[in-house]
Amino acid sequence: MNPFRWSYRISFFVGFLICVGLLGFALFAEYQWGLEPCPLCIFQRIGFMIMAVFFLIGAIHGPRAGGRWFYTGLVLLGALFGIVTAGRHLWIMSLPPDQIPACGPNLAYMFDAFPFSKVLKMVFTGSGECAKIQPILGLPIPLWSLLWFVFLSILAIRAALQRATPRLRL
């Protein structure tokens, strides 16, 4: 089966499966390997969750014409959120050791103690645990996330541009 000829529904279902696989790997790394996610890692997971939901809805609905761009736009919003978060995470990791922010409270405490806008500001400011990343296959996890966000964005756009196959009428 040629992936360049996949229908919109199949492409979106594959996008959903990839997102679920990535989230499953993140949970595996957290609970089996003991890699505690920092707040920016959790926000990247949220980006994949948003994409997974709209990939699945788009695959089930299988719209035509403008409806395809509606679901693709929602997937791309999740991807944009993830790309910004992963980019910020990579930037914090690139800072010299003396410029890395001090470690802060965990995300659950921040949501309990502060309003949402303050939590967002604190998370994107970064903290020391965001700079300590275990590489997987030689690359840091935020870079893998960034690559997957870009790949899934391309998959969604390609699916939306794919011409609808005519349905057989009996």
Contact call for residues 159 and 6 (beta carbons, < 8 A): yes
CATH superfamily assigned to domain 3-161: DsbB-like (1.20.1550.10)
Question: pLDDT tens digit string along 69-96?
Answer: 999 999 999 999 999 999 988 888 887 7
Contact call for residues 166 and 64 (beta carbons, < 8 A): no
Count the neighbouring beta carbons within 10 Å of the beta carbon of residue 122.
17
Question: pLDDT tens digit string along 5-51?
Answer: 778 899 999 999 999 999 999 999 989 988 888 888 888 999 999 99
Kindly indicate the confidence band of residue 3, based on its pLDDT and cuts at 50, 70 and 90.
low
Q: Where are the domains of the chain?
A: 3-161
Contact call for residues 83 and 146 (beta carbons, < 8 A): yes
pTM of this structure: 0.81
